[in-house]
Amino acid sequence: MFLCCKQYIMPAFYKQTESFIFLILFCNCSILAQNTVNYSPAFFGPNADPVAEFTGARIPKYTTFEVSGDYFYGYGDRTVNPEAKVEIPLLSQRISLKVWIPLWERYSVTQALYDERQMEGNLTGTTTGGDFYVQTRILALAEKKYLPAVVINATIKTASGEQFPERRYFNTPGYYFDAEIAKSFSLNNKIVSNIRVGTDWGFLCWETTNSRQDDAFMYGGTIILSNKALELDNTIAGYDGRLKDGDMPFVYSAKLIGNRKNLFAFIQYKYGIRDWHYQELQLGVGVKIKALTPKFGSARAVTM
């Protein structure tokens, strides 16, 4: 009887064991396949984790709205998207809240890039929403005769960006802290009446997979030439990630801004030097609205 039971029980036991082992191997293979995805700007769309822009340690006096159209090209990826941005001074030129988001993307990639990124879906597509960025800005040190202005930024990135299988967004949260330091120098010249020299230093962190994270050192420098009507910003900036898997983007940008009372328009060109393999053309307009500035934000401005 024992042998009879053994004949029926043991095969069933082995079958269940084999199924259990297969399940474990399948899960491990899925995890390993997920780990092969590099959560870095070199392997995703241009808006996944871009180099942060900084403003030369300036906080606006009034609430500022911006809308722009961005066109990215190069590296076998063409992307078009609108972007919206608002900055609300909670205390004029001292403390502000800033929010921005790429509203949607229309993209097209080559077959070679599709294979390299291990993408899913089609070669062309549309995303329905990007990552929200929410930033608190504080003037830590007002500019003096011999001292620069210092602005401290604390920023969080949501995981609202969609189309991770298509490698458009990480679908993971992130944050960064940085300090902008800048000083202006007046010139007796009608063409260039002011030169502002600034720098930016900070720490960036974002989640990759399996509760891991990548940490990066942020850096940047800018020279801003301006007069009453025009401003030209020349900036180099980037960050160096810890994993060294395409997470060390370095970018040059030139931005021309035209001002007329409370309205302004701008055009910007960006060139990816390392690990952000794009060029970008951006056109935008903005407005400064005193009526939408919080009353406690319209206090006497800091002399800059």
Identify the pLDDT of residue 109.
Answer: 97
Per-residue pLDDT at 8? 44
| Tokens describing residue 126 | 């549309």
Integer Cα distance of 236 and 220 in angstroms: 6
Beta bridge partners of 253: 235, 270
What is the predicted pLDDT for the residue at 257? 98
Q: Count CB atoms within 10 A of the CB of residue 167.
A: 25
Euclidean distance between CA atoms 159 and 132, whole angstroms: 8
Q: What is the pLDDT of residue 35?
A: 52
**Which stretches within the chain are classed as H helix?**
2-35, 111-116
What stretches of the chain adopt beta strand conformation (E)? Answer: 63-73, 77-91, 95-102, 105-109, 124-127, 133-141, 149-157, 174-186, 194-207, 213-226, 230-241, 250-260, 263-274, 279-289
The list of the chain residues with pLDDT below 70 reads 1-35, 211, 297-304
Q: What is the DSSP string of 111-160?
A: HHHHHHTT--S-SEEEES----EEEEEEEEE---SSS-EEEEEEEEE-S-
Token pair for residue 23?
Answer: 């399940």
CATH superfamily of this structure's domain 41-297 = monomeric porin ompg (2.40.160.40)
Please give the Cα distance from 304 to 300 (Å, whole number). 12
pLDDT at position 303: 41
pLDDT at site 194: 96
Q: Please give the pLDDT value at position 302.
A: 43
- Are 155 and 135 in contact, with CB atoms under 8 Å apart? yes
The set of residues, in sequence order, having a beta carbon less than 8 Å from that of 175 and lying 6+ positions away, is 154, 155, 156, 157, 204, 205, 206
Angle ∠(128,265,132) on CA atoms, nearest 5: 30
